[in-house]
Structure 1
Amino acid sequence: MNFHGTEVRQRAITLLRDGASNADVARNCEVPPGTIAYWKHVDRAKRGECPGKHDPKCPRCDGRELDGVAYSYLLGLYLGDGHISHYSEHRVPNLMITCDESWPGLMDNCEQAMRTVFPDNSVCRVRKTGCRNVKVYSKHLSCLFPQHGPGKKHERRIALEPWQQGIVGAHPWEFVRGLVHSDGCRIINWTTRLVAGERKRYEYPRYFFTNVSDDIRQLYTDTLDTLGVEWTHCTRHGNPYNISVARRASVALMDLHVGAKY
């Protein structure tokens, strides 16, 4: 049964094409939001605008130029808090980076990097409890992120392809920044010292990077080595998953090129 006439549907489609939101169109046309979303999907499908319907060219398959700075940062985010989902053979894969809502600046940086690496694909944010998933759909995600595979990252081998290593070598700080922004933090440690018989408190900044994957931690420390950043393993509760940067000169370098989340 058709509860909404052709005239109402066409008016809704016109408003959607003019840029109105689904909610505004639903209120304007007095039609349920789910129906509006379905009409919009059908209209986009007819016009070939659905994600992945006519996937843009790929830097790996078609030789399209790839922004190395944005890619190096996005690669770091992906290795930390990202994953690629492919729910069925009929769905276009999506790259999803989970960003805590406490760091809106990080979320903005993540979205900007995605838009730069995938300039012709739609990027969106999906609200979850306490976080948002920044997503992009593309048929070529496995081309750009060959580390994707079945199972959890720490349960399989993670190694960069030679072309990826070349990009990271050219833009190492962006790679480190992406890793720290995903699985790292900048904290203030403190200690006390006895000075002239009086105990005084001293505070100092420190960077931590925590990841269960031995391979991903190795990629992080290898890159720090090339940058002259001193680091140490920090075992907590018997788990050697933490990499610490605490030397004053090294922290200063990290502050200059990475900085705290915001």
Structure 2
Amino acid sequence: MYDLSTRKRALSLVAQGRSLNSVSKEMGISRHAITCWLSRLEPVSRTPPCVRCQETPESPEDPAAYAYLLGLYLGDGYIICKPKQRYLMVTCTASWPGLVEAAEDAMRKVLPWPNVSRLQRAGCVDVKSYTQHWVCLFPQHGPGKKHERRIALEPWQQEIVDEHPWEFIRGLVHSDGCRITNWTTRLVGGERKRYEYPRYFFTNVSDDIRRLYTDTLDKLGIEWTHCTRNGSPYNISVAKKASVALLDAHVGPKH
């Protein structure tokens, strides 16, 4: 038998978004007991109020983290909606552990209470955060692939991007972009020499997502060009020295 204070403490941890497994292990109480308490004691909501679906919608508590996570979502993220399971998932290349950490950190800052987990797969890591309210925070969610439907930011999202443009750009580059070193040769004093220079690429088949990227680059004074792939302008290139220096200062290569 457990006293009332123990039961209420367990339910309080569950109400904060903790999983039944974690509460069970921490307190040495069976999952079955906690499940029974959830149904017998005074109901405790397991999901705190959502900032977007409350009576007066508000912006996320950490708008900078949201801008970064929005970029990740538009690139390599999607929301799974099943009858009994809804979660945001961002897929990261396993060779970039810093990106995996950054994705999880952003999820926890934007919504601190849902359970966050990682799933290791061949060559990649899926970072997942479980709650139905990711749909409220990312209204771009919908049926089908992102490049097959219209993607546009809501006014409140655009305000966040305007306030934190570098975080948004960093999220997009960390998902669908890269920093590479190109090379060419030049004649110097009659001798051909190799010349190397850094370059950023962003690749996405959605015209709308590429436009969100380039519109934000324009506001930041970054020079960019389209590079076609199989006749389609899927690649956005930034190669000008001054523009690359700005991206290096605020984005940098993945790690």
Which TM-score applies when normalising by structure 2? 0.83
Q: Aligned partners of 2:134, 2:182: CA distance in 1, in Å?
A: 39
Which structure 2 residues correspond to residues 1-262 of structure 1 after superposition, within 5 A? 17-19=24-26, 40=31, 42=32, 45-46=35-36, 48=38, 54-62=46-54, 63=57, 65-87=60-82, 89=83, 91-262=84-255
How many angstroms does 1:14 deviate by? 11
Cα offsets for 1:39-76 (capped at 9, x unmatched): 74x5554455xxxx721221112356521000000000
| 1:79-117 deviations in Å (ceiling 9; x for gaps) | 000000012x2x131000001101000110000000001
| 1:79 maps to amino acid | L
Q: Secondary structure at the match of 1:99?
A: strand
How far residue 15 of structure 1 moved from its aligned partner, in angstroms, is: 10
Shift in Å, 1:17: 2.8
Q: Which runs of 5+ in 2 are unaligned?
A: 1-19, 39-44
Q: 1:14 to 1:123 in 2, by over 3 A?
A: closer
Identity %: 64
Name the CA distance, whole Å, in 2 between partners of 1:258 and 1:133.
22
Q: What amino acid maps onto 1:224 in structure 2?
A: L
RMSD over aligned Cα atoms: 2.1
TM-aligned CA distance change 1:15 to 1:107, over 3 Å: closer
Letter in 1 for 2:77: G
When residues 202 and 123 of structure 1 are mapped into structure 2, their CA distance, relative to the original with a 3 A threshold, is same
For residue 237 of structure 1, report the CA deviation from its aligned partner: 2.3
